[in-house]
A = this chain, B = another copy of it.
Amino acid sequence: MKVAFIGMGTMGAAMALNLLKAGHEVTVHNRNRQREEPVAAAGATRAATPAQAAQGAEVIVTCVSDTPDVEGVLLGPQGVISGASAGAVVVDTSTISPGATRRLAAALAEQGVGMIDAPMSGGSEGAEKGTLVFMVGGAEADLNKALPVLQAMGKRITHVGPIGAGQVTKAINQVILAGYYLSTAEGMALGLKAGLDMEKVVQAISGGACDSWVLNFRSNNMIHNRYPLGFRVSLHRKDLRIALEAAGEIGAALPLAGMVAQIENGLVDRGFGDEDISALARPMRELSGIKD
């Protein structure tokens, strides 16, 4: 298929490479044009603007940071809307506001351009290996057009509801994760303070009711007080802000996610924003006075 890909960050570049591997014809664009180079070297065409990238594309993938970035790329000057043909489908893999997503889709629909929201989880490792998990909102017909593209980048694609539902699902994912990281950190701090061999403890409990991806793959960071990426605290804080705003709009209460967002504010301010989210163990260790 003819695919445009806008946003050559760590995630986007890896995903575009998987599209090329799967035999798609890929045109890429990034605000900082230099970041297009590695993917162009692998066979992608470069475009000077989102509009130019979108010209003639059947599917237009966006993978940028936040709500205003997606708005700019889609509707701004030289945005996708100026170049896309009627019948094309935009696949936004960014994590942004569900409400803004619905407004963007409505604006594109006026030009005959479809849109699905397809935020993802799985991190940079999932992007490289093509094992991302996509949570999709939108019309079934639009998803069907985009399916070969999503399948080249991910291992699991779940259609959860109408436009925006993918973003709400991603918000739920981030809200749940907030408590899982904090709770695992609290458990690790208790054991460290008690002087236990925490690797044995994790081995003992990981087969039971608190079995989780976070316990299995991130408790070790917390035990050793080192937090290599992973997924950045600053990005999770951004995602929680979106979740908390969306919750405010519909009248849902998220006390635990709100608390974790506040704790993350402190981490970011202290210069830990580029560490993995498991750095939530820092304040929990500090509360109990645990040294490295």
Identify the A interface with B (CB < 8 A): 98, 121-123, 133, 135, 155-156, 158-161, 165, 168-169, 171-173, 175-180, 182-184, 186-191, 193-194, 196-197, 200-201, 203-205, 207-215, 231, 243, 246-247, 250-257, 284, 287-289
Contact = CB atoms under 8 A, between A and B. Distances in A.
A122 B165 CA distance: 35
Contacts of A208: 121-122, 133, 173, 213
Contacts of A189: 252-253
Contact of A190 (B159, B180, B194, B252): B252
Nearest to A210: B176
A177 B209 contact: yes
Count of this chain's copies in the oligomeric assembly? 2
B176 A187 contact: yes
A133 B208 CA distance: 7
A256 B204 contact: no
Contact of A191 (B158, B168, B197): B168
B204 A135 contact: yes
B176 A184 contact: yes
Contact of A183 (B158, B175, B187): B175
B179 A175 contact: no
B210 A173 contact: yes
